[in-house]
Homo-oligomer: A and B are copies of this chain.
Amino acid sequence: MNELTDRQKIILSLVVHEHTRTAQPVASKTLINGYNLKISSATVRNEMNTLTEQGFLRQPHTSAGRVPTEEGYRFFVGNMVQHTALPSATRNTIAHQFYQSRKGLEYWLPLAASVLANQSQAVSIVTAPHSEKVTFKHLELIATRASQVLMVLVLVGGEIQQQILSLDAIHSQEQLSQIAAQINHICENASLEQIKNLPLTPDPLVNQVIAAVSDQLSIASKLVTGELYLDGLTNVLSEPEFSDYSPINSPLRFLEERPMLDDLIARTVLTEEIGGVQVLIGGENTWRELQNCSVILTRYGVPDQLSGALGILGPMRMPYSQTISTLRYVAELMSGLVSDNLVN
């Protein structure tokens, strides 16, 4: 594939720009009118023709304007989106919302989702941060009714797991606390493997609890993404391209199928270092539900310790530059918050 001339690049980017604005096919004339180019519409038409032949533009029908193809968007995003900074007013608005929120991940996560959805007028995707390698931090056993015990397990990073254990006999809270202390001593900062390979202790009760801990850690280690927060679902539905709603290939279907979404996040974000941004255009021939959509994903958190994903799903014709900047900024904020509150 030969390169594009500068003029072709300009025209491509103008078509993209105009089409994201209007959602309509772009005519040669509207370009020279709206952007006072120094060339005639006929020339633009010629260039558009070659762009169409190269697969970057597409005509909905013989005598309509041009629309960018997936390829076209891909080229645009790959070669022509310059890294612009977010206007400081927007930055302040966003920062302010975090500032006056309650403190704690459980508040920041939905807030991030809401901010992203509002700013981008698209669907936002936020996963709770999760650490790749799970490590024991602290254990607590709490007596409840009869022989049932609530086990609370804190991982390095700050994730908390809970489970109800049924013991063979009734134990007092003092006894339980003592067992917990013992296990905390044994398991301090131990990895899943280390705990799995611990020798049995003389006390069968301790063994039972350690087995439960090991189970919980094992579950946690299999998790790719933490809890999921979505927001702005209605935004995307009000877009004209989804007005003839067909449930078959609706982005909403995609979002409700957790396995698909997990797969997407696992395949893209988690292979990326923090700070990088991935753009998926039109489902990349893999996800049919995302035909007219693009997904922008990034990772936030503390490298190697605790990280999650932030993303935006919107129509393919979205203001990429702006959306990417927004995502970057929110990721930065969230990374700061996570690292300030790291439990290790």
Contacts and interface: CB of A to CB of B under 8 A. Distances in A.
20 contacts: A103-B163, A137-B142, A138-B140, A140-B140, A142-B343, A144-B158, A144-B343, A145-B343, A148-B341, A150-B154, A150-B158, A152-B152, A158-B162, A232-B256, A233-B233, A234-B256, A237-B245, A242-B245, A243-B245, A245-B245
A250 interface: yes
A245 B247 CA distance: 12
A252 B233 contact: yes
A160 interface: yes
Q: Say whether chain A's binding surface is mostly helix, strand, loop, or mixed.
A: mixed
B162 A142 contact: no
A145 B344 contact: yes
A253 interface: yes
Interface in A251-280: 252-253, 256
Interface in A88-145: 102-104, 106, 137-138, 140, 142, 144-145
Given A152-B140, A160-B152, A164-B341, A237 B247 contact: yes
Contacts of A232: 256
Interface residues of A, number: 40
Number of copies: 2
A25 to B, nearest CB: 22
Interface in A307-344: 341-344
A82 interface: no
Contacts of A70: none
A18 interface: no
A343 B219 CA distance: 23
Nearest to A254: B234
B162 A104 contact: yes
A151 to B, nearest CB: 11
Contacts of A138: 140, 142
B237 A256 contact: no
Contacts of A145: 342-344
Given A138-B142, A163-B104, A250 B237 contact: yes
A142 B158 CA distance: 10
Nearest to A243: B245
Given A160-B160, A164-B104, A237-B252, A344 B144 contact: yes
